[in-house]
Amino acid sequence: MRSLIPGGATRRAFLLGAAGLPLLARRAAAAELTVLSSGGLNAAYLALVPDFQRASGHTLTSVGASSMGAAPDAIPQRLARGEPADVLLLADGGLPPLEARGFIRPGSRVDIARSLIGLCVKEGAPKPDISSLDAFRQALLNASSIAYSASASGVYIENEMYRRLGIHDQVMPKSRRILSERVAAVVARGEAELGFQQVSEIVTVPGITYLGTIPEEVQLPTIFCAVVTAGSRQPEAAQALIRFLASPEAAPALRRTGLEPLSRG
């Protein structure tokens, strides 16, 4: 039987065309996604972006945004202004208001990592003892100034933790909520003696010393999750990104940035 594949230059053209079909199909299916990422997941997410883009062919536009709050760059404010977004990476405490306003695609939530609150001082500064609840309480009373996040951990510190420690009235006057910036960066500049934030938002900032997590008795674990927005035009690609972030392959990047992966693989 005569071969159906032509010879010579025509055969080479046929083979090149056949080899290019998977690439063309991949390009045709490629999507451009906008991701709003809160600080707790941002360092790990940004480290994983190149791997996902290379493997999927999708392109990611990454925007830093806090999980909650009234700051102009917070996720609720961005969505309320109608800014485009396909995937949200945020603390789970920020989800209910967004769901109530119809911003989230139902059933799309996937939990990515667990995070704890940590404490830092400026590099070279004295390191207070926070190894016990009493020592931690005294460190806060002794501090000249304290900075905390405007997002999930800061809301808890301001509204609950200080009160549980019995020092709310003493420390609130010297405490400051930080908007649109890492708390550790404020501490590194010497503008606050102590700084609270999610561990993953502290350990990647230069110029500070990480003291450790706050005592378990007043600790508040936070679950960081990923969701697809109701307005996403690329929900399948958005779900592919979320599956990747929750996969065992992403776990090392999460651990390196102070997070506890929740993948079961």
**Strands 222-228 and 194-198, sheet pairing:** unpaired
Q: Is residue 79 part of a domain?
A: yes
Last residue of a domain, one of 201, 218, 235: 218
Domain boundary among 218, 238, 253: 218
- Extract the tokens encoding 236: 């399948």
* H-helix segments, the chain: 8-29, 39-56, 75-80, 95-100, 133-142, 152-156, 162-165, 168-171, 183-188, 199-202, 235-245, 251-256
Identify the pLDDT of residue 9. Answer: 37
Contact yes or no for 95/70 (Cβ under 8 A)? no
Q: What is the pLDDT of residue 14?
A: 30
Same domain membership, residue 228 and residue 178: no
Task: Let me know whether 81 and 59 are in one domain.
Answer: yes
Residue 166 forms part of a structural domain: yes
Is residue 177 exposed (0-12), middle (13-18) or buried (19+ Cβ within 10 Å)?
middle
Pairing of strands 87-91, 32-37: parallel
pLDDT of res. 20: 34
Assign 3 a pLDDT band (cuts: 50, 70, 90). Answer: very low
The alpha carbon dihedral of 138, 139, 145, 149 has a sign of negative
How far is residue 90's CA from residue 40's CA, in Å, rounded to a whole number? 8
Q: How far is CA 169 from CA 20, 44, 144, 165, in A?
A: 68, 36, 14, 11
Report how far Cα 89 is from the mean position of its chain's Cα atoms.
6
| pLDDT tens column, 28-84 | 478 999 999 998 899 999 999 999 999 999 999 999 998 988 889 899 999 999 999
pTM to 2 decimal places? 0.77
Average pLDDT, the chain: 88
Cα 154 → chain centroid: 15
Asked whether residue 92 is domain-assigned, the answer is yes
* 227 and 110 in a common domain: yes
Range of the domain at 193: 117-218
Are 167 and 131 in contact by the 8 Å Cβ rule? The answer is no
- Residues 123, 106 share a domain: no
Does a structural domain hold residue 2?
no
Q: Work out the average pLDDT over 113-124.
A: 97
Please tell me whether residues 71 and 129 are part of one structural domain.
no
Clarify whether residues 182 and 252 are in a common domain: no
CATH of the domain at 171: 3.40.190.10
| Among 6-15, 62-71, 169-178, 194-203, the range of highest mean pLDDT | 169-178
Digit-coded pLDDT (tens) for 197-214 = 999 889 989 999 999 999
Counted domains in the chain? 2
pLDDT (tens digit, 9 = 90+) per residue, 213-240?
999 999 999 999 999 999 999 999 999 9
Residue 1 lies in a domain: no
* 168 & 251 share domain: no
Among residues 257, 264, 265, 260, the alpha carbon closest in space to that of 43 is found at 257
pLDDT of residue 66: 87
Query: Which residue type is seen at 204?
Result: T
What's the CA gap between 201 and 185, in Å, rounded? 10
Residues 125 and 201 reside in one and the same domain: yes
Say yes or no: 40 and 61 in one domain: yes
Tell me if 246 is assigned to some domain.
yes
68 touches 152 (CB < 8 A): yes
Same domain, 93 and 129: no
Which of 184, 202, 218 is the C-terminal boundary of a domain? 218
Domain identity same for 207 and 122:
yes
Q: Please say whether the beta carbons of 241 and 35 come within 8 A.
A: yes
Answer whether residue 212 is part of any domain: yes
In a domain, 198, yes or no: yes
Band (pLDDT 50/70/90 cuts) for residue 264 is low
- What residues does 261 pair with on adjacent strands? 113
Same domain for 213 and 231? no
DSSP 31: -
